[in-house]
Structure 1
């Protein structure tokens, strides 16, 4: 297991926690605000202290061109686009061998439970997981409950089920939505044998409120956060990311982190 442990240490900090900046949105959403210039976006993520970034294969060349210490790098293997009639149906567009050739520290797969194509995505996850175990490659599973038959808002019970699916099918790290009840997250974190990382979701207007949410997630036992749009679409991405890192790695409260954000953003 030596190879996997070494790679995981590049993804998760020495304190067992991680701040991940997903930057895989270009395939699904196109050139959204903040990701038009990927080289600039990557420079900001690294400058803000991201432990890990998640990228599609075409952006690895930009990373290799940067004259900066690199964070952990995860190759995202799943794809779909908003142009599709079934945006929630993810397909596999890469391989573990490709990840090794590119120099990735891990791979990620996205599955949506409750979708009519759930069975195909689970099958894909099983195949990727088998290759990850063969090559000792860390596997991050992005798991959500999304589909036409899914009741909205998604229940905490459904989120707990999603976490269980990812864990039992071999995830080394799980990225998912936050339960509304922090006690549910606390219970999940207490018995889940792998790190749970909470997704930041869509762009929010109130930075203080968002940072307080992050503080709540970490306090409830989440081992990190995966924040994309709220980082790269902020008026000061580096300051925002440093504020998030101060919560995850230094134990600052949401209010303390917000003050740091204001001080840095000036």
Structure 2
């Protein structure tokens, strides 16, 4: 039954997926709200741009699913919330908590997929342990309800160096954590890009046939994100999950259509740039 939902998530022509992540408000960081202050408007713009999926929280999913008609992006439902994205880690209680009965909630909201974190944070092994527990609880529910489980292995840089939400592009660290996510039963992987994009095939190899969607990371120039996307697709990535590079863009519809053309039609960087403009 999971295959039914996967067919809604991955494009029939390319067998790839472009998921726009707009779940940032879940994590109680003021800086995360830039560009998504009014989620109703954001979702209207994204639905018009027509990516394959939009990643939302339980509280915001209704704005997508209440839109009438069949021609709208699939819902990827975020299942967990954490307090580890700030410039300094909380001293007394660091956590990654999961929604109660999240798979039942996913079915009720007609989600095509659920997403759960697998954090590796220097100095916070207890958060990694909570993530593993979350995934182990979620896996049998995912199988029972027939909902694909997307695991998001995130390797953090030390907080004193980067703080919170910065990608650690170390190939070895990413590869090992991706492999753990696959071993824990992931149906889809959402992983960081490596610093050297030409080495990303090693991450794909470690996923052992599980499709890998690549995170966008922090906001960069149009050419940089498009060139990186091209390189990742050439390395075997099954798609992308970008957030800030879409929702903080001055033309979210244009950049979405440009990225969709690259992901599904093999458009060149220059052709995609022309779509943005």
Scaled by the length of structure 2, what TM-score is found? 0.86
Partner-residue secondary structure (3-state), 1:57: coil
Given that 2:65 and 2:109 are in contact with CA atoms closer than 8 Å, whether structure 1 keeps it comes out as no
Once superposed, what is the RMSD of the aligned Cα atoms? 2.2
Q: Does 1:17 align with 2:27?
A: no
Candidates 78, 99, 112, aligned match of 1:105: 112
Q: Deviations over 1:65-92 (max 9, x none)?
A: 3245221111110102457717974211
Q: Which residue of 2 aligns with 1:236?
A: 251
Q: Which residue of 2 aligns with 1:140?
A: 150
Partner-residue secondary structure (3-state), 2:246: helix
Q: Which residue of 1 aligns with 2:45?
A: 44
CA distance, structure 2, for counterparts of residue 97 and residue 220 of structure 1: 36
Given that 2:119 and 2:153 are in contact with CA atoms closer than 8 Å, whether structure 1 keeps it comes out as yes
Aligned residues: 259
Partner-residue secondary structure (3-state), 1:26: helix
Candidates 160, 166, 172, aligned match of 2:175: 160
Displacement after TM superposition at 1:240 (Å): 0.6
**More deviation, 4-13/25-34:** 25-34
**More deviation, 62-71/82-91:** 82-91
Q: Deviations over 1:69-124 (max 9, x none)?
A: 22111111010245771797421124111111121111110120243221121111
Given that 2:77 and 2:111 are in contact with CA atoms closer than 8 Å, whether structure 1 keeps it comes out as yes
Q: Deviations over 1:9-57 (max 9, x none)?
A: 1111112100000110011134612211111111221222210111111
Query: What runs of 5+ residues in structure 1 fail to find an aligned partner?
Result: none
Structure 1 residues 48 and 258 mapped into 2: Cα distance closer, same or farther (>3 Å)?
Answer: same
Structure 1 residues 62 and 142 mapped into 2: Cα distance closer, same or farther (>3 Å)?
Answer: same
Structure 1 residues 34 and 88 mapped into 2: Cα distance closer, same or farther (>3 Å)?
Answer: farther
Q: Which residue of 2 aligns with 1:7?
A: 5
Q: Which residue of 1 aligns with 2:90?
A: 85
Scaled by the length of structure 1, what TM-score is found? 0.90
Q: Which runs of 4+ in 1 moved over 4 A?
A: 147-154
Given that 1:116 and 1:147 are in contact with CA atoms closer than 8 Å, whether structure 2 keeps it comes out as no
Displacement after TM superposition at 1:60 (Å): 2.1
Q: Which residue of 1 aligns with 2:125?
A: 116
Query: What runs of 5+ residues in structure 2 fail to find an aligned partner?
Result: 163-167
Displacement after TM superposition at 1:147 (Å): 6.5
Displacement after TM superposition at 1:255 (Å): 2.0
Q: Which residue of 1 aligns with 2:265?
A: 250
CA distance, structure 2, for counterparts of residue 167 and residue 137 of structure 1: 16
Q: Which residue of 2 aligns with 1:74?
A: 76
Displacement after TM superposition at 1:180 (Å): 1.8
Q: Does 1:214 align with 2:219?
A: no
Displacement after TM superposition at 1:184 (Å): 2.6
Structure 1 residues 156 and 75 mapped into 2: Cα distance closer, same or farther (>3 Å)?
Answer: same
Given that 1:186 and 1:221 are in contact with CA atoms closer than 8 Å, whether structure 2 keeps it comes out as yes
**More deviation, 248-257/25-34:** 25-34
